[in-house]
Structure 1
Amino acid sequence: MIRVTTSTPNPITDSTELRTQMGAVRLSVHWLGTSKALPASQQAEAAATFGANRDFFSARKKLIDTRHPAYRKVTSIRNRIVSLWKGMTVPYPDPGLRLIRRDRIQIFEIEFQQLLQELSQAVLQLEREFGELKSIARERLGDLFNEEDYPSHLDHLFRIDAEYPNVEPPNYLQRLNPELYEEQSRRIEARFEEALELAEESFLQEFQQLVTRLSERLSGEADGKPKVFRDSALTNLTEFLMRFRQLNIRSNAQLEELIDEAERVTAGLSPESLRSERTMRETVREQLQQVGEVLEDQLELRPRRQIVRSRSREEVVSDAT
């Protein structure tokens, strides 16, 4: 769970503020492989069974039962770590990098380290039960089982690292080659403009999906009864609204207005009240449906807006060079 501070972070209204108030963070996941390609001899044997050409055939074997509770525990913690990383960051154009508010790095690190401790304990438990997992695999794989496919220890095979690379051009470059430094600075400036677009796009898409999901769950009946309404339909939306405020990126005025409206509509709501009060359900559904329609229009207009911004950015870079 992401901790929410009571203080409001400084707003980010353009790519320059995004660049000065955010830093890059990369999450590297190193994980035990749970399947393996069959050796050439077994591949050929399997291909022959189906009369298949060996060059057009491939087969893999599953090494462990990934549904085993001990393995599912470590994967659930991995998923929580990835969710923490994505929930406190916005996209950056470079693969594997995301942007985090610099004033939120300490909060992220506290949560991250706590989850790493949980992961370490879960891996220890998995190692205790790994013999059982291998026995199950030996029974199910038959002649395909190979003891050498399995590590003797697991502690180094489940690792998640968080790094904070510097995406700015190095200061020494300014002394050695000022022209190259300026060129790299303009390139980074363009990357942050693109990052701002990606952040807006990400907000719009997630917001639209959550609003649509909730309004759909509140509409109509199935088999003469109200549709099944799970708590997550509401809590996922309210958590998104809270996360948006914590990131405090205010580069899109219309999105900001829609966020305000969604907060007004959902203020004080509980899953129980939406289940029990039909009139409230209908009122909330109608208001959220209106928000969703505007969001859909924004997403449809998005490609055109991106083209205009991209051309403008190219002109700035071209003029500067």
Structure 2
Amino acid sequence: MSITSNCMIVNLSLGMWSGYRLDKAASREVTTNAGAAADAARVNKHLVDKKHLQPIVTAASQVRQHFYEKTLPWKDNGDRVLTRMLYVPFIEEHGKLVREFRNAVNHFIGTDYPQAISQAEFRMGTLFNSDDYPSADDLRHRFYVALDIDAVSEANDFRVALDSDQVDEIRENMETAMKQRLGNAMREVWTRLADTLGHFAEKMGDEKAIFRDSTVANLLELIDILPGLNVIDDENLTAIHANLHHIFTGYEPKELRKFPEIRKNAASEAQRILDEMQGFMSAFGQAA
């Protein structure tokens, strides 16, 4: 897989209004009455009941979780790598989750927030200050989701006018950084696979263990997207994926609960593949 032609860099920005406000006067009163230093305590007011913001928090968490599940690490500034293979399903699901986030925001601003303000003086007592509450228009701008998409930069694209030796050195540094980022990305793929498969093997291996449907669903979903996460066309990962797809596709939680032999076989196969992965993962500085 050509990293420049088959991958892109994505960065997620997600803004939230916390619903908190520092009360400096109340903070001074608390520390003064306690005979404490001025910076010993801070009084943060909950301007609205947390239950009103929970739907937005949940929707934001789902946007963020989906973003991290379908992408791989790239830079420490939040940049992640997304493959062309996963782009269309990623964008479709991302758009759906963003709409749910915005619907939750609209409901809060249109319904819950006005009610919270009208109840605030009673709820907050002497801590109430109407200036703490932003207008609806101002509040709307504090909730946002933005997805930035960019191309993967290649060392050969570096064209700044410098001495040839300096350009060569910079290109070499860019190539080294690229290899390191690809290594980090693949390390996450192997780690994610080992964690998910390991959890599955553990639950299936204990006949008395109660497992959720998500134990199976998470493994099957990862198997489904694994080719799209293989940013360097790692032959070992391709072989592991083929093995996983052949063995586990079609497993249903109800069958694993009902038939001990199927469950035992699933645990055995999962552990066998985990053992096979150990050597492959060591190449990325990771142990299964």
TM-score (ref. length: structure 1):
0.75
| 1:172–1:296 CA distance, 2 compared to 1 (3 A) | closer
Task: For 2:172, give the aligned amino acid.
Answer: R
Match of 2:132 among 149, 156, 167: 149
**Partners in 1 of 2:115 and 2:281 — Cα distance?**
50
The 1:74/1:258 distance shift into structure 2, 3 A limit, reads same
The answer for the alignment partner of 1:113 in structure 2 is 95
Equivalent in 80, 88, 96 of residue 78 of structure 2: 96
Partner of 2:30: 46
Q: Deviations over 1:200-224 (max 9, x none)?
A: 2111221111112112222335xxx
User: Displacement of 1:89 after TM fit?
Assistant: 1.9
CA distance in 1 between counterparts of 2:14 and 2:162 reads 36
C-alpha distance in 1 between matches for 2:63 and 2:81: 16
d(CA) in 1 for partners of 2:34 and 2:233?
58
1:164 paired to 2:164: no
| TM-score normalised to structure 2 length | 0.83
What residue number does 2:217 align with?
A: 235
Aligned to 2:202: 216
Corresponding residue SS for 1:156: helix
Matches within 5 A, 1:1-321: 12=1, 17-39=2-24, 41-68=25-52, 71-102=53-84, 104-127=86-109, 128-135=111-118, 137-153=120-136, 154-166=139-151, 168=153, 174=159, 176-177=161-162, 179=164, 181-221=167-207, 226-295=208-277, 302-303=284-285
Gapped regions of structure 1 (runs ≥ 5): 1-11, 306-321
Distance in 2, matches of 1:58 and 1:295, equals 50
1:26 partner letter: N
Q: Provide Cα deviations, 1:115-170, integer angstroms capped at 9, x if missing partner.
A: 33333322221112212333555444332232222211132121111112456379
Bigger mean CA deviation after superposition, 41-50 or 87-96: 41-50
Q: How many aligned residue pairs are there?
A: 283
The 8 Å contact of residues 21 and 101 in structure 1, kept in 2 or not, is answered as: yes
4+ runs of 1 displaced by more than 6 Å? 169-173
Q: Separation in 2 of the partners of 1:236 and 1:136?
A: 43
Gaps of 5+ in 2: none
SS of the residue 1:52 aligns to: coil
| Cα distance, 1:53 vs structure 2 | 2.4
Cα gap change, 1:167/1:42 in structure 2, threshold over 3 Å: closer, same or farther? farther
Q: Kindly indicate whether the alpha-carbon contact (under 8 Å) linking 1:208 and 1:296 is maintained by their aligned counterparts in 2.
A: no
